[in-house]
């Protein structure tokens, strides 16, 4: 009798749920390729890796199901083994009543408390890095801010302050050409204040021009900021112009560096983690490997009393019902529904729609409709209760899983999450996004092994092992959680080594430019 094969070969295409009408190709398949272990299904045409193939006949107008969920409607009859993509699958808004709180589940406490080594600030907040920040109230002071940071770019400039991670200038395009009151400038002020308070900064210097709409005194008063040891300001028109302000700012930063260097890491509980959950350059593997694995890590963060924050409202569109079923209250659910309504109005005013997605890169990677993309993106949020819904850049105050209203554009979205207080970013990618976000470390999670091998210098962990059959989602979630703790304790990420992070600061400007 032949010996039992304890490690049977994985089929070339994967069925994610018993209800699914499609499989996902795990590798590039040629016409006639066998799709399952039994040889019952064959590809009718070439199927690219990460793309969908019909596992049963689907009539025109019939729902197409992936993840056990509706992802769109067939626009033509689809035969068994046929490629399912934008040529025969289209978006349709799902029907059904809104359910609230029906999927809530109690948190199970961890077997043992986890901790990391962080910087504890005087106000009790905890940082994972120790930077000096140079912020701007307006675009007009951006050049000065960059010139100041440039003085401290060379390694020898910080040789006497080894406990400081660097001096970073974070500039933006707003602050004027708008009213001095209203939603747009309030949001910019909230964003800048979030960075000014961020515990990854030992100290911050805000530089303004002097005549801008975003006046520094008004910013400070509206956001409850006050000058002190950690927050300083300079105004170019009062300081003598460009070079006089640069010299004054450089002198100020040199003094701040001495104090910042006195900060040292100390053990703190994992409850002090605030983790931003992000994705970019998604592909057909995102919802199978990296996103659910990050969701498993987010569950661990929540169980340890930390905060895990999902974002990108346009990229959970169509999957918001899954989040509403996890809402802890009607109030939290209504906050999410209100943000969806706001987006419908916002996109209509700008002559677009919420389903104007996925991107060309997403489609090349196998994603066809916004519903398919959203279901995979929402997996980053894990399975725990939705405890809060936050406006853009609003402070994160509740432990557990939360959602922040942001655009899907990665730099703008992460800027809001960091302004809210996130001190680690986890970013999944299937196509190979390159990203960092100072002053917060960003971990890059690859969805597939081919891209990980091709872009190993940019990736921190390979979640493609799940599709390869060498790791489970839960095992990978544990590895990600441990990597988050190590990173929070000072382990440098790939994006930090490469120097990413200053150019990605991008506050969301939603108003008219006047």
Residue 9 has a pLDDT of: 59
Residue 512 has a pLDDT of: 85
Give the pLDDT means over successive 10-residue stretches in the chain (514 positions): 48 88 93 82 92 95 92 94 95 80 91 96 97 98 98 95 98 95 96 98 98 98 96 98 98 98 98 97 93 97 98 92 95 97 92 79 90 90 97 98 97 98 98 97 97 98 96 97 98 98 96 86
CA distances 355 to 64, 66, 168, 333, 337, Å, are 17, 18, 37, 21, 16
Q: How far apart are CA 203 and CA 167, in angstroms?
A: 10
Half-sphere exposure for 316 (CA within 13 Å, toward CB): 25
Which residues have a Cβ under 8 Å from the Cβ of 157 and sit 6 or more positions away? 151
Tell whether pTM > 0.85.
Answer: yes
Residue 40 has a pLDDT of: 76
Residue 468 has a pLDDT of: 94
Which residue reads 């069925």 in tokens? 15
User: Do 413 and 407 touch, CB atoms closer than 8 A?
Assistant: yes
The CATH classification number of 131-260 equals: 3.40.1400
User: Do 179 and 185 touch, CB atoms closer than 8 A?
Assistant: yes
Residue 1 has a pLDDT of: 40
**The 201-208 sheet, strands edge to edge:** 166-170, 131-136, 201-208, 231-235
Residue 371 has a pLDDT of: 87
Domain ranges of the chain: 12-92, 131-260, 270-498
Residue 7 has a pLDDT of: 47
Q: For the domain with range 12-92, which CATH number is right: 2.30.130.110, 1.10.150.120, 3.40.50.2300, 3.40.190.10?
A: 2.30.130.110
DSSP state of 321: H
Residue 3 has a pLDDT of: 45
Residue 93 has a pLDDT of: 76
């Amino acid at each position: 009798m032949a010996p039992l094969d304890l490690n049977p070969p994985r089929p070339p295409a994967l069925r994610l749920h018993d209800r699914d009408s499609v499989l996902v190709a795990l590798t590039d398949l040629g016409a006639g390729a066998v799709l399952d272990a039994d040889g019952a299904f064959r590809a009718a045409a070439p199927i690219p890796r990460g793309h969908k193939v019909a596992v049963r006949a689907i009539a025109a107008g019939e729902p197409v199901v992936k993840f056990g969920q509706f992802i769109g409607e067939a626009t033509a009859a689809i035969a068994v083994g046929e490629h399912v993509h934008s040529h025969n699958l289209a978006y349709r808004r799902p029907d059904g009543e809104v359910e609230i709180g029906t999927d809530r589940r109690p948190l199970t406490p961890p077997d043992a408390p986890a901790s990391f080594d962080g910087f504890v600030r005087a106000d009790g907040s905890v940082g994972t890095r120790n930077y000096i920040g140079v912020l701007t109230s307006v675009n007009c002071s951006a050049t000065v801010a960059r010139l100041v940071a440039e003085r401290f770019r060379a390694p020898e400039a910080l040789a006497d302050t080894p406990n400081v991670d660097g001096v970073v200038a974070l500039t933006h395009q707003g602050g004027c050409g708008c009213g001095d009151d209203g939603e747009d400038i309030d949001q910019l002020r909230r964003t800048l204040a979030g960075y000014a308070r961020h515990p990854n900064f030992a100290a911050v210097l805000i530089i303004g021009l002097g005549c801008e709409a975003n006046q520094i005194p008004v910013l400070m008063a509206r956001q409850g900021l006050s000058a002190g040891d950690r927050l300083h300001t300079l105004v170019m028109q009062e300081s003598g112009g460009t070079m006089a302000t640069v010299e004054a700012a450089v002198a100020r930063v040199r003094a701040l560096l001495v104090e910042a260097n006195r900060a040292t890491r100390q053990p703190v509980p994992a409850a002090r983690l605030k983790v931003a959950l992000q994705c970019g350059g998604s592909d057909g593997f995102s919802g199978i490997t990296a996103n659910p694995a990050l969701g498993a890590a987010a569950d661990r963060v929540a169980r340890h009393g930390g905060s895990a924050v999902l974002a990108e409202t346009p990229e959970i569109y169509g999957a918001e019902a899954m989040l509403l079923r996890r809402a802890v209250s009607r109030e939290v659910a209504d906050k999410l529904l209100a943000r969806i309504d706001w987006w419908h109005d916002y996109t209509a005013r700008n002559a677009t729609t919420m389903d104007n997605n996925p991107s060309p890169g997403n489609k090349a990677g196998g994603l066809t409709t916004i519903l398919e993309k959203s279901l995979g993106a929402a997996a980053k949020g894990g399975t725990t209760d939705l405890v809060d819904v936050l406006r853009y850049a609003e402070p994160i105050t509740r432990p557990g899983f939360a959602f922040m209203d942001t655009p899907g554009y990665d730099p703008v979205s992460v800027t809001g999450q960091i302004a809210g207080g996130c001190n680690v970013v986890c970013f999944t990618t299937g196509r190979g996004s390159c990203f960092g976000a100072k002053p917060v470390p960003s971990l890059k999670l690859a969805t597939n092994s081919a891209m990980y091998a091709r872009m190993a210098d940019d990736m921190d962990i390979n979640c493609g092992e799940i599709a390869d059959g060498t790791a489970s989602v839960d095992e990978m979630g544990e590895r990600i959680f441990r990597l988050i703790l190590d990173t929070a304790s000072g382990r440098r990420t790939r994006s930090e080594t490469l120097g990413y992070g200053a150019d990605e600061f991008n506050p969301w400007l939603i108003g008219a430019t006047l």
